[in-house]
Amino acid sequence: MSKPIYFWRETGYEGYLSQWWTSHPFTSHPSSSSSPITFKTAEHYMMHAKALLFSDPEVALSILKASHPRKVKSLGRCVKNFDEERWNEERERIVREGNLLKFRASDELRQKLLATGERELVEASPMDRIWGIGFSPERAPGSDRRRWGLNLLGKVLMEVRAILQEEEDERERIDRQKKSRKEKRREEKDEGRGEEASDSKDVRGES
């Protein structure tokens, strides 16, 4: 069985998996009547959606203006009318949506994620037992899994990977069909030319 991938900081090993990865901004189109919104990181998307979920447009706007995800995380804690039970119901869906946008927007990131195959993705954050496991990348490999946190981010990323792989497989299937149809048309065209040449010879022979 392949070893898990333990990631944490955006500047560390497999940092592109981090919510704080800043190198590939992405855009969301909320509805046909709304202007597209560009997010600097998946953390921006998550906290912006959190603010909107609890009807706090002021904090949502501040999140979009914030340059660093650390500030974004801090703003996310200031959302008014926050309801933990409601958030727990919606948080994974929101993070999944944000990461689908992130990885669909960049061929480079998508291919990196798909290249992890079926390896387990683990956010080895020693400070987070909800989105991570509560152990650092150094301590995680030898730790007791029964003491791990929820690893929600790792699980969401594996779901995103599965969705992207299905999309990739579908694109390849469509490409194969197009190629097959193109080759068939070429063969039919070549056969038609051969028949025309044969008919021409027959006509000359009769004359």
Instruction: Render each residue's pLDDT in the chain as its tens digit; 207 residues.
Output: 689 999 999 999 999 999 999 999 999 988 766 799 999 999 999 999 999 999 999 999 999 999 999 999 999 999 999 999 999 999 999 999 999 999 999 999 999 999 999 999 999 999 999 999 999 999 999 999 999 999 999 999 999 999 999 999 999 999 999 988 988 888 888 877 766 666 666 656 665
Does the predicted model carry a pTM greater than 0.85? Answer: yes
8 A C-beta contact, residue 91 and residue 152:
yes
Binning the chain into helix, strand and coil, the percentages to the nearest 5 are: 60, 5, 35
Q: According to the model, what pLDDT value does residue 202 have?
A: 62
Q: How far apart are CA 57 and CA 59, in angstroms?
A: 6
Domain containing residue 157: 5-206
Q: According to the model, what pLDDT value does residue 52 have?
A: 97
Q: According to the model, what pLDDT value does residue 74 have?
A: 98
- Three-state secondary structure readout of 58-98: HHHHHHHHCCCHHHHHHHHCCCCCCCHHHHHHHHHHHHHHH
The structural domain count of the chain equals 1
Q: According to the model, what pLDDT value does residue 195 have?
A: 66
For the domain that residue 183 is a member of, what is the CATH number? Answer: 1.10.357.40
Q: According to the model, what pLDDT value does residue 204 have?
A: 61
> Could you give the dihedral angle defined by the CA atoms of residues 43, 46, 50 and 52, in that order, rounded to the nearest 10 degrees?
110
